């Protein structure tokens, strides 16, 4: 029976589980999952570890929002935060309260329409950041992705209501947000929900045919390489995975096939700002 290499491991040998590791002789990591997680948490609970996590999440958020990558490196962000007295005060409070999630130090953008730059940041708690984001979503002014896209509701082909966001549509109709999203995205198994058809504002076609959106192909620096009439055409022209292009366009991953992909409409909106 494989045992965790950590001599201080408190997990019983028969209950230990291990992550796979193709480079090791037996195909598994030497430390059990519990010990690996403890190390990750310990690193996250240091100032440098926390800032590293914040910087990584900022990169992912930038892709999701269609914003450029942060204008600074992880090291520059740490140096900036290290010079903010409020960061040290919030970090001490977070530690003293047992690393409570609501008290985690976080970075909030001063101007939501702009990307991450050091002159557009302030240090707040995770809770304050979340509450601001939530209130902005309700008001329809958030830049967090699809949840803040305006949505129209149709009955028998006629527009009967408009909502500032998917969340408001869900809240006002009592229909689960995920189901409304699938109808808006023209999912093949979700032509309507709750007896209604939902579309993102600007999409007035209430037919059940799935729309093909144009996509642009960019290099890792954001330079335009090519425009494609559809995701399918981009796949045929480049050989890059169809699902990978789609995931990149939806903000679920940074790149696919060594290229950055965006829906043409999203690319033009970001370019015009």
On whether both 126 and 157 belong to a single domain, the answer is: no
Instruction: Quickly count: other Cβ atoms within 10 Å of residue 243's Cβ.
Output: 12
For residue 223, the enclosing domain spans 215-272
- Is 124 among the domain residues? yes
Condensed to tens digits (0 to 9), the pLDDT of residues 203-213 reads 878 876 656 67
- Is 207 among the domain residues? no
Q: Domain with 180 in it: what CATH number?
A: 1.10.10.10
On whether both 224 and 174 belong to a single domain, the answer is: no
**Is the pLDDT at 146 greater than 50, yes or no?**
no
- Is 49 among the domain residues? no
On whether both 82 and 135 belong to a single domain, the answer is: yes
Work out the average pLDDT over 229-245.
89
* Stretch among 126-140, 187-201, 204-218, 227-241 having the lowest mean pLDDT: 126-140
Confidence of residue 261 (pLDDT cuts 50, 70, 90): very high
CB 248 within 8 A of CB 256: yes
Picking from 139, 168, 191, the residue at the C-terminal end of a domain is 139
Q: Reduce the DSSP state of residue 175 to 3 states and report it.
A: coil
Does the pTM of the predicted model rise above 0.75?
no
- Is 31 among the domain residues? yes
- Is 191 among the domain residues? yes
| Angle, helices 177-184/166-173, rounded to nearest 10 degrees | 120
**Is the pLDDT at 137 greater than 80, yes or no?**
no
- Is 48 among the domain residues? no
On whether both 155 and 135 belong to a single domain, the answer is: no
- Is 8 among the domain residues? no
Q: Domain with 265 in it: what CATH number?
A: 1.10.10
> pLDDT value at position 138?
56
- Is 209 among the domain residues? no
On whether both 128 and 152 belong to a single domain, the answer is: no
> pLDDT value at position 33?
83
Work out the average pLDDT over 153-168.
87
Count the domains in the chain. Answer: 4
**Is the pLDDT at 193 greater than 90, yes or no?**
yes
Alpha-carbon gap, residue 223 to 217, rounded angstroms: 9
Condensed to tens digits (0 to 9), the pLDDT of residues 68-94 reads 889 999 999 999 999 999 999 999 999
Quote the mean pLDDT of the chain: 85
> pLDDT value at position 35?
84
- Name beta bridge partners: 32: 18
Confidence of residue 56 (pLDDT cuts 50, 70, 90): very high
On whether both 224 and 255 belong to a single domain, the answer is: yes
The count of C-alpha atoms lying within 13 angstroms of the C-alpha of 40, restricted to the half-sphere facing its C-beta, is 8
């Amino acid at each position: 029976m494989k045992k965790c290499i950590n001599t201080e491991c408190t997990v019983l040998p028969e209950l230990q589980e291990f992550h796979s590791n193709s480079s090791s002789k037996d195909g598994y990591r030497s430390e059990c999952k519990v010990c690996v997680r403890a190390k990750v948490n310990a690193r996250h609970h240091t100032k440098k570890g926390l800032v590293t996590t914040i910087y990584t999440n900022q990169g992912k958020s930038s892709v999701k929002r269609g914003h450029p990558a942060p204008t600074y490196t992880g090291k520059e962000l740490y140096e900036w935060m290290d010079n903010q007295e409020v960061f040290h005060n919030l970090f001490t409070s977070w530690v003293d309260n047992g690393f409570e999630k609501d008290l985690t130090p976080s970075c909030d953008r001063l101007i939501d329409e702009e990307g991450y730059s050091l002159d557009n940041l302030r240090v707040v708690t995770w809770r304050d950041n979340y509450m601001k984001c939530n209130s902005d979503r309700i008001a329809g002014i958030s830049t967090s992705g699809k949840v803040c896209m305006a949505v129209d509701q149709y009955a028998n082909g006629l527009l009967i209501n408009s909502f500032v966001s998917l969340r408001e549509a869900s809240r006002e109709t009592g229909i689960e947000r995920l189901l409304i999203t699938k109808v808006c995205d023209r999912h093949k198994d979700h032509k309507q929900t709750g007896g209604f058809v939902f579309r993102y504002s600007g999409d007035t076609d209430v037919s059940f045919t799935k729309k093909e959106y144009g996509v642009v192909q960019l290099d890792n620096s954001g330079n335009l390489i090519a425009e494609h009439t559809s995701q399918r055409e981009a796949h045929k022209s480049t050989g890059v995975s169809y699902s990978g292009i789609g995931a990149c366009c939806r903000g679920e991953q940074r790149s696919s096939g060594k290229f950055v992909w965006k829906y043409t409409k999203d690319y033009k909106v970001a370019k015009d700002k």
